[in-house]
Amino acid sequence: MIILLTGASHTGKTLLAQRLLEIYHAPYLSIDHLKMGLIRSGKTALTPKDDDALTNYLWPIVREIIKTAIENRQNLIVEGCYIPFDWRQDLGESYSSFVRFLCLAMTDRYIDTHFDKIMQHSSDIESRLDNSCCTAAWLKEENRKILEGFRGKNEQVSLIDTDYESSIRALLNAPLSG
């Protein structure tokens, strides 16, 4: 089983991936680590701010890692924001049936009510060196893009609306089926 975990920035994807790793003892691949490895090694001229170009660059690599894990009957948690909205079509039915897709997004109300808490927890699992672009307005726009993009492809998006922990617990307690 592959758990493909994506969503908007600051939604707790990395924290959820860590919890899934602890529960299922499955290896975990951070697309951000792959991105930074390729950037720092000089294998790409892209920068961390080139989001759309990074999705186009990283997804073919991640897609083939997922296929390889499925072919080898290996479990894997893949986490990051560089997942295209049409990932399922690109991966194909024979592979996507082995993928449990999880996508996190926050409502405007949640962002308005909990913005200080979101910022307070933004480095719980990974250290964010520069959080200066993160404003409530920017978070709302990022979350809207995720909601519209994935829902436009008939993907389910888990909305964080009132309580983060209960939203995450619901995902952790859901059966692991594709």
Per residue in 154-175, pLDDT tens? 999 999 998 888 888 888 877 6
Q: Rounded to whole angstroms, how far apart are CA atoms 178 and 113? A: 33
Residue in this structure with the two tokens 């961390």, named with its chain if needed: 48
Residue-wise pLDDT for 100-111, tens only, equals 999 999 999 999
Beta strands at 2-7 and 76-79: parallel, antiparallel or unpaired: parallel
The rounded radius of gyration (Å) of the Cα atoms in the chain is 16
Angle between helices 31-40 and 51-71 (to 10 degrees): 120
Reported pTM: 0.88
User: What tokens does 68 get?
Assistant: 């390889």
Strand order in 76-79's β-sheet? 28-30, 76-79, 2-7, 99-106, 158-160
Residue in this structure with the two tokens 């979350």, named with its chain if needed: 143
Average pLDDT for the chain: 89
Q: Rounded to whole angstroms, how far apart are CA atoms 23 and 149? A: 29
